């Protein structure tokens, strides 16, 4: 056989007619049709399939243009020349619950068991700027993350953990500047210079407007906090990643893989434009931008997604923003396995799902990784479940062999074709967003939200109709006893935090707090960078709620966007 069409007619077709083909939806998780076999004809320069191309003809596919070498533009194969031959990805398990002492014990346990970086989850009141004793926080304190109200809480959170020796990722957005101010204040208490601390704040408010909802301030005020943080870190905390532009929550809301990277990169474009408008030079801040993606069960599609995202970002930064520093073109990203894929039914199956997703993230070239735990569809994970999740990463890193060479799936006709297709579809979305005036304008019109809703509905209907099989959910069910060993947060944590706040307010310098409140209000209404005054405020023991109340009074609050 010399062409795929000839093979399909003379070999594949008769075999299917004789033996049949199993009933299945031969498509990726995002709905991209999957061919029975791939060959060089799939690597056309425009991403189309040329079914009659001879096998020896690559269809004009250019290796250096599309892949290049690791550590070189367009970074399709990875942002570092050595990738995991230099060192493995950072194993950064996302954790946080209850009060600071409880979370500190979990962090120290993970570090003792081989975790190489911290990842902090904050509770809902902390995410939206309320103290634990605020009526708005009732019933939510310490539930989905750790409660942080003051510098005293932050100091307890990192007790015995030298900030000079670890990097810390903080999944926080609307209050990211305040949490970074608290982190800087704790570092200073530990005697660590700010230019020696490293880590990341998520600091991605646009995806909150799209998919998640933990925003506080109107968009312009939120973008001002973000660009202030960019400028402050450029000058004072140079090893800090100033934003982790997140596709994870967009994907968790129901987006497809191309939508995830399209909407994420469109948001990144908006942040770059805002920083340039604020007077920053692209190569001064772009090397510290980072990204955060989810990883789902379709292993090949996820690998292709990561490779396409790297290539797209390199081209955007070079061609659109005229970046000169190669580091500005590197898409460095953290990955979390997909919480939305975990099932309450047959929870042990989630260990397998997580392993597949983690493997895809590693083959796709992630810089750091969190693996979800088996019981997270039921509750916060138990310590044993967290250990299994961490061991999953360690087995992939030390036993599987996939970390021994860079970009091991490169050259697969299927992987390269799918990488091209994901890039093409994602690029079409970015063009649509540009035509609407950019990411924020598209959000205000409900474009991204509507596209995600439609994709999510389509996927759910496929599951309902059993076109997609979810093991243990719509097929292969079994009777199971109720799970007993689940994590339960101490119900008194809210009361404890309220008592600590009362004690803090009784002994702090009230006059100094009032001066800081007035100073913060003045800075909020000026063009002065907000970060230095936020650090001074937390050092003077202003609480999270007091800071956010002052900023709410200055800037107002954002209400939910109405989708028409």
Pair type for strands 240-241 and 243-246: unpaired
Q: What is the DSSP string of 103-155?
A: HHHHHHHHHHTT--SEEEEB-HHHHTT--TTSGGGTTTTTSSSB---SHHHHH
Secondary structure in 3-state letters for 325-346 = CHHHHCCCEEEEECHHHCCCCC
From its phi and psi, is residue 371 left (phi > 0), alpha (psi between -120 and 50) or beta? beta
Rg (CA), the chain: 24
- What is the per-residue pLDDT for 54? 40
**How close are the terminal C-alpha atoms of the chain, in Å?**
54
Cα(21)–Cα(5) distance, rounded to whole angstroms? 18
Structure tokens, 216: 């506080």
Helix axis angle for 383-399 and 100-112, nearest 10°, is: 30
pLDDT at residue 22 in the model: 79
Give the whole-angstrom CA distance, residue 366 versus residue 359. 10
Are the C-beta atoms of residues 210 and 443 closer than 8 Å to each other?
Answer: yes
Contacts of 525 (CB under 8 A, 6+ apart): 554
- Measure Cα distances from 23 to 410, 466, 476 in Å: 30, 10, 16
Beta bridge partners of 337: 295
Query: Where are the domains positioned within the chain?
Result: 4-60, 66-464
Answer yes or no: are the C-beta atoms of 287 and 344 closer than 8 Å: no
How far apart CA 69 and CA 63 sit, in angstroms, is 9
For the domain 66-464, what is the CATH code? 3.20.20.240
- pLDDT value of residue 249: 96
Which helix (H) or strand (E) element contains residue 497?
Answer: helix 493-507
> What pLDDT score was predicted for residue 51?
45
Q: Could you list the pLDDT tens digit for every one of the 564 residues in the chain? A: 678 888 889 998 999 888 887 777 889 999 899 999 998 888 864 434 444 444 334 456 789 999 999 999 999 999 999 999 999 999 988 888 999 999 999 999 999 999 888 999 999 999 999 999 999 999 999 999 999 999 999 999 999 999 999 999 999 999 999 999 999 999 999 999 999 999 999 999 999 999 999 999 999 999 999 999 999 999 999 999 999 999 999 999 999 999 999 999 999 999 999 999 999 999 999 999 999 999 999 999 999 999 999 999 999 999 999 999 999 999 999 999 999 999 999 999 999 999 999 999 999 999 999 999 999 999 889 999 999 999 999 999 999 999 999 999 999 999 999 999 999 999 999 999 999 999 999 999 999 999 999 999 999 999 999 999 999 999 999 988 777 778 788 889 999 999 999 999 999 999 999 999 999 999 999 999 999 999 999 999 999 999 999 999 999 999 876 554
Closest CA to 340 of 327, 328, 330, 350: 350
Report CA-CA distances (Å) from 135 to 125, 132, 145, 497.
10, 8, 18, 13
Q: Is 525 exposed, middle or buried (0-12, 13-18, 19+ CB in 10 A)?
A: exposed
């Amino acid at each position: 056989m010399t062409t795929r069409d000839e093979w399909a007619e003379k070999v594949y077709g008769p075999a299917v007619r004789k033996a049949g083909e199993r009933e299945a939806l031969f498509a990726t998780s995002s709905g991209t049709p999957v061919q029975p076999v791939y060959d060089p004809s799939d690597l056309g320069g425009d991403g189309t399939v040329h079914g009659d191309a001879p096998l020896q003809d690559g269809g004009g596919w250019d290796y250096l243009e599309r892949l290049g070498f690791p550590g070189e533009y367009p970074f399709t194969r990875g942002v570092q020349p050595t990738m995991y031959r230099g060192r493995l990805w950072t194993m950064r398990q996302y954790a946080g619950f209850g009060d600071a002492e409880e979370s500190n014990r979990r962090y120290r346990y993970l570090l003792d068991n081989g975790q190489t970086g911290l990842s902090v989850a904050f509770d809902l009141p902390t995410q939206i700027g309320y103290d634990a004793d605020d009526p708005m926080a009732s019933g939510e304190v310490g539930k989905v993350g750790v409660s942080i109200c003051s510098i005293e809480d932050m100091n307890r959170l990192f007790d015995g953990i030298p900030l000079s020796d670890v990097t810390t990722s903080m999944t926080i957005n609307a209050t990211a500047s305040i949490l970074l101010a608290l982190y800087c204040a704790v570092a200073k208490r530990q005697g660590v210079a700010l230019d020696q601390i490293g880590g990341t704040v998520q600091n991605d408010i646009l995806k909150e407007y799209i998919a998640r909802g933990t925003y506080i301030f109107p968009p312009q005020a939120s973008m001002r906090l973000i660009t202030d943080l960019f400028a402050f870190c450029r000058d004072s905390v140079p090893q800090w990643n100033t934003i982790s532009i997140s596709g994870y929550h967009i994907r968790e809301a129901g987006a497809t893989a191309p939508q995830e990277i399209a909407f994420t990169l469109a948001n990144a474009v908006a942040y770059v434009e805002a920083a340039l408008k604020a007077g920053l030079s692209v190569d001064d801040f772009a090397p510290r931008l980072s990204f955060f993606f989810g990883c789902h069960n379709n292993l090949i599609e996820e690998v292709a997604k990561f490779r396409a995202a790297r290539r797209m970002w390199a081209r955007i930064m070079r061609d659109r923003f005229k970046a000169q520093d190669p580091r500005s073109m590197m898409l460095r990203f953290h990955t979390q396995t997909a919480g939305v894929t975990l099932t309450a039914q047959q929870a042990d199956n989630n260990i397998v799902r997580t392993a597949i997703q983690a493997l895809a993230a590693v083959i796709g070239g992630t810089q750091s990784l969190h693996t979800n735990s088996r019981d997270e569809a039921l509750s916060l994970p138990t310590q044993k479940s967290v250990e299994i999740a961490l061991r999953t990463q360690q087995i992939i890193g030390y036993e599987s062999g996939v970390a021994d060479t860079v970009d091991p799936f490169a050259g697969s006709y299927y992987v390269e074709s799918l990488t091209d297709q994901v890039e093409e579809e994602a690029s079409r979305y970015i063009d649509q967003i540009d035509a609407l005036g950019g990411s924020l304008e598209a959000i205000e019109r409900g474009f991204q939200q509507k596209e995600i809703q439609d994709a999510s509905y389509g996927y759910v209907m496929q599951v309902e109709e059993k076109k997609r099989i979810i093991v243990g959910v719509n097929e292969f069910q079994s009777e199971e006893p109720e799970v007993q060993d689940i994590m339960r947060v101490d119900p008194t944590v809210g009361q404890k935090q309220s008592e600590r706040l009362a004690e803090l307010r009784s002994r702090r310098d009230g006059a100094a707090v009032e001066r800081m409140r007035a100073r913060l209000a003045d800075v909020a209404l000026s063009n002065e960078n907000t970060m230095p005054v936020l650090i001074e405020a937390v050092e003077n023991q202003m609480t999270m709620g007091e800071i956010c109340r002052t900023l709410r009074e200055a800037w107002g609050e954002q209400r939910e966007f109405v989708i028409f």
